[in-house]
Every structure is written in structure tokens, then in C-alpha cells.
Amino acid sequence: MQPISSGDTAFILASAGLVLLMTPALGLFYGGMVRNKNVLATIMQSLIMIAIISFEWVFVGYSLSFGPDVGGFIGDLSWFGLRGVGTAPSPTYATTIPQLVFMIYQCMFAIITPALITGAFAERMRFGPFIIFSLLWAVVVYNPVCHWIWGSGGWLAQKGVLDFAGGLVVHLTSGAAALAAALIVGPRKGFKRESFLPHNLPMTLMGTGLLWFGWFGFNGGSALAANGVAATAFVATHLAGMAGMASWCFMEKIKQGKATTLGAASGAIAGLATVTPAAGFVSPLSAIIIGILAGICCYIAVSMKNRLGYDDSLDVVGIHGLGGLMGTLCLGIFASKLINPDGANGLLAGNPAFFATEAFGVLVVLVYAFIASFILLKIVDAVFGLRVPLEDEVQGLDLSQHSETAYND
């Protein structure tokens, strides 16, 4: 058994803390974009995931995702309640740090993924059914997909599909679920007739800053050691975030005449989400190109949303769904073994087969996550009812779901 490295342990613990911070940060990012009668309910939908999913993860989620493989599709339940998971390193995952560190680090990813979906049905979802849906979604969608790609023996991993920090596992699954949710829950009252202005953009920008900060833990920490790959991922993350912000603002300037702060925030998140699957496998210059593409494509996707007619309120599909999809394809193009010998060579390094593998991964995850989320939402809707009554929606979710108001004199 390898000895525990204090440097790696320190780094992954710090990274886990950073990723935890991303969930309240996401709450602020989304919270600033809704109307002020819904801000608390929106923040709460992210915040409560920390409690719900941490439980799910400790009892079944970690075992289903990373436990001993069953046919390549799911882990078994032999690590139920963390049985046998202790301070000794795992022989399979992150062998230089205690397994508890790996477990809690991955827990933070499981927390933020269902929180990302909440932007699609903001301002109209009932709180109780939302919790039930998220819990079921973690078991039915997140845990299996996580196992396929990151679990030892997962079938997509066996096929050679790579995903550095969650382009498929986190962003594409939540983006696909967001699309299903926007379609099933339906648009907000007044959609297309009135404009839903963000009530507090500084709050959104604060959330963006904290998300960016946390993303260094998300991507840098996914190296699972304080080594050269972590440095590659850290640099790629920063460069793609800044390139996404710049190119989104540039698109706005050309198309609408003014660059906006909301655009800067959205562009940064688009760049960060898109580079996520590629971060530890590509060069700094590739990361910049990925970020620029992300800003341009996500901007176009978001501005086309209204024409497509679904109310993805806070652009989860256009930013995270598209970002995860594009980032994974970009990994197929830009990956290079010169950067990370444990990675792969992509299209530009003369290996179209790897691009095809990544495209296959995208297709599988997209189809599975969309269909499974669609069915789950339909079931929860039929049994409990997902949407608040019209008068509650008009009154605002803060009062109707939580008996609170955000701002008082």
C-alpha cells in the first residue's frame, strides 16, 4: 500500500471545501436572476441539496457510484453507509489519499449537479416534490452515469470515454434534466409577454465570482493529487473562464450594442462549464479556444431559447447542457498525450477514433439522462404535482413555499 501523501491530502481537502462553496454560490448566482418574490425559494433549492444529497451519498450514492462493479452499469451496495470506507487509501481510486477524502470530494459533485437543474424550473416549483425528484434523480441518473464514466469497471470508461471533471457526469446530465424539466413543468405565467428582470445583478456577480473560485477545486482537484495534471487543469480552467467571458461580451457588443454584466457572468460560467471535461487533458492555448467557442455558442443558444418556446428560466440547457456537450467534443479534438500521458490523443493529434468515442459518450449520456429525467418528472408530477398553483406563483414562492420575504424594512 502506498503511504498517504500529506500534500495530496491537503490539496484535495481544500478542493472539497471549494466545491462545497460552489453550491451556495450557485444559489446566489440563480437567486440574483429571479424576481425578488422568489429569491429565497431559488437559493433554498440549491442550499437544501447539500443536506439531502450528502445523506444520499453516504448511505447509497457513494456505493452505487464507486462501489464494486455490477456488469459495468452500477456499483453494488456493499459500501452501504460507508461500510469499510475509512482513512486507509482505496486500492483503486486516488491511492495517495485516505478514501474518506475521495468520498467527500465526490460527494460535493453529487450535491451541485441536481442544484444546477433548479435554474430550469425557477419561480414555479413546489418545494416538497422538488426534493423528492432530486433524491430520485441522484439515484437513477447521477449515480449510474458517474459509475459508467468514473467508476472502476464502468462500461463507458472501458470504451475509453474520458471526462476530466464532469462535462458528461455533471453538466450534460443536469442540462438534459433541465430540458426535460422545462418541458414538463411548462413556462412561467407571463412567459413571452412580460420580461422577467433579474432583481439583483450584484448578487449574481458575487455568485459568479465564488463559482469561479470554487471551480479551481472542481477542476484542479479532479487530478486527485497536487501534481502537474492539477496545474494543467487549474490553468485551463482559468483561461477558459476568462475567454468565455470575453467572447460572450464581444458577441453582445456586436449583436446588441452593449456588453452587459449578466453577459460577463454567463460567459464566464459557459467557459468554465465547457472546459470542465477537458481541463486536465489539453494545453493552455486549447483551453482558450474552448473558452472562446463556449462564449459564442452558448450566447447563440441562449438568444435562440425564446424562439424554441420552452422556458428554461435561468439557461441551464444553453449554458451547462451545451457547455458539457461541446466541452466533451472539444476534448475529442484537442486532447494530447504530450500534456497528460494518462489521457489520450484527440483529432488534432491524428486520432479521430478518440473523437468518435467522446461523441458516443455524449450521445449515450444525453439520451439516458433526458429520458430517465423525463420519466422521473412525469412520475413525481402524477403522484405529488410539481407545479405550484397559479395564485402561489403570482404571490411568489418565498411566501407560498417558505412563509418568508427576503427583504424587509
| Contact residues for other proteins, defined by CB under 8 A | 4-11, 13-14, 16-18, 20-21, 23-25, 27-28, 31, 39-41, 43-44, 47-48, 50-52, 54-55, 58-59, 80-87, 97-98, 100-101, 103-104, 107, 127, 200, 203, 206, 226, 401-409
- Beta strand residue intervals within 134-283, DSSP E: none
Cell numbers 454567463 correspond to 266
DSSP-assigned letters across all residues of 73-92: TEE-STTGGGTT--SSPPSS
Cell numbers 441562449 correspond to 302
State whether the Cα torsion 202-327-22-18 is positive or negative.
Answer: negative
Q: Report how far apart, in Å, the C-alpha atoms of 226 and of each of 11, 97, 161 are.
A: 6, 11, 24
Q: Residue 201 has which C-alpha cell? A: 445583478
Nearest to other proteins of 23, 266 (CB atom): 23
CB of 224 to other proteins, least distance (A): 14
Neighbours of 87 (CB within 10 A): 11
Cell numbers 467522446 correspond to 358
Q: Residue 393 has which C-alpha cell? A: 406563483
Closest Cα to residue 201, out of 260, 281, 127? 260
Q: What are the φ and ψ backbone dihedral angles of 69, each rounded to 5 degrees?
A: -70, 140
CA distance 363 to 18: 30
Output b/e per residue, 45-83; b: 16+ Cβ within 10 A: bbbbbbebbbebbbebbbbbbbbebeeeebbeeebeeee
- Beta strand residue intervals within 92-213, DSSP E: none
Q: Residue 75 has which C-alpha cell? A: 456499483
CB of 90 to other proteins, least distance (A): 13
Q: Residue 237 has which C-alpha cell? A: 480552467
Closest Cα to residue 33, out of 205, 264, 269, 163? 205
Q: Which residues pair with 70 in a beta bridge?
A: 74
CA distance 316 to 135: 19
CB of 398 to other proteins, least distance (A): 8
